[in-house]
Structure 1
């Protein structure tokens, strides 16, 4: 009898794709007795908070409801923020949801159903490495931009460019969804400008700008 599984794949930018991750994980499933019931993919920074990552939340909910193992290509696909990664891992551990990371060859639970004895130590160590790598990338990018500016280069949007609702949907997908719900008549303190700005750690003017775009659409 095959084991039930889902695939979760993530890339950080719109120009990347998840095809390789999905193919590798499907091949792993085929060779290890898993039947893949669903595939969840998203294009979003791993530094984002879990509540901003709709596909990740849907994948965990689906696995919880259907008793599936989550197949993930590597730990950094789950996130590059150690606090958020540990939240996901602890939730899955407490709800007996197994997660397999292909690159690290690490599962939350062993074949006998027992928790991996060094699980939390390994997760914390690997997550810290992923976070350090992200910070190093940001440092190199900033250094490159500073050097480019010092030589007279200009960075940023071209003159006359206007931010579109699609830009906001890419950067703040869950915030745009909440504001659409509000525009469709949902009520409650959750949808106030201040509450949404605090929840998604953005400037209130950003919430107001998105709301104005949605009303004009």
Structure 2
């Protein structure tokens, strides 16, 4: 199967230029696009959240993905490399027109796939290292990271139900009954009342 993939970032852009380029290319190569995939979405969105991700999942060995240029696959290099690496590992060919890439199962593509995979791993390691360094710097500056030790979250299951609980308590409704009404254990109600409402029972 030959798939033509077209992506624009906003609805103000037109898909017609990309479709024309792909059709012109196919005419010269004497091939036909079996299925078109078009989407209007930012290239920074995760591939899995785009039509491209769904397409890649169903593509098979020796299928061909044609797009006008590599930038249609993603906004940044890491994302593009991830797509190309997956395609080459699964023997899916990727052809681009403006960039004139022909990525398939030949030896040069496999070498390129290795380079892509290595580059992606290096980039991930760099991002991880930068994150660790930033956290270490903040810690050295005395910034408390995360929730302070021993401190509980301010929010509980009953947060937002204070007024209702107060009304029920005023009517002498038991903790057990309140728990059934609010779908929590009676001890949860008692703990909430003791710590939040400050009511002497």
TM-score by length of 2: 0.52
What SS does structure 1 have at the residue aligned with 2:91?
Answer: coil
Helix, strand or coil for the counterpart of 1:96?
coil
Matched, 1:57 2:50: no
RMSD: 2.7
Q: Which has the larger radius of gyration?
A: 2
Which residue of structure 2 aligns with residue 116 of structure 1? 109
Q: CA distance change for structure 1 residues 71 and 109 in 2, over 3 Å: closer, same or farther?
A: same
Secondary structure of 1:35's partner? Answer: coil
Structure 1 residue runs without a partner (length 5+): 129-217
The answer on 1:36 being equivalent to 2:33 is: yes
Is the CA contact 2:81–2:116 (under 8 Å) kept in the aligned structure 1? no
What are the Cα deviations for residues 81-134 of structure 1, in whole angstroms up to 9, with x where unaligned? 222222211110100000011111011127xx444376355896xxx9xxxxxx
In the other structure, the counterpart of 2:90 is 95
Structure with higher RCO (Cα < 8 A, 6+ apart)? 1
Q: Kindly report structure 1 stretches of 4+ aligned residues shifted beyond 6 Å.
A: none
Over 3 Å counting, the alpha-carbon distance change for 1:107 and 1:12 in structure 2 is: same
**Distance in 2 (alpha carbons) for counterparts of 1:47 and 1:96:** 25
Question: Deviation of residue 49 (structure 1)?
Answer: 1.1
Looking at structure 1, the residues matched to 55 and 69 of structure 2 have their Cα atoms a distance apart, in angstroms, of 16
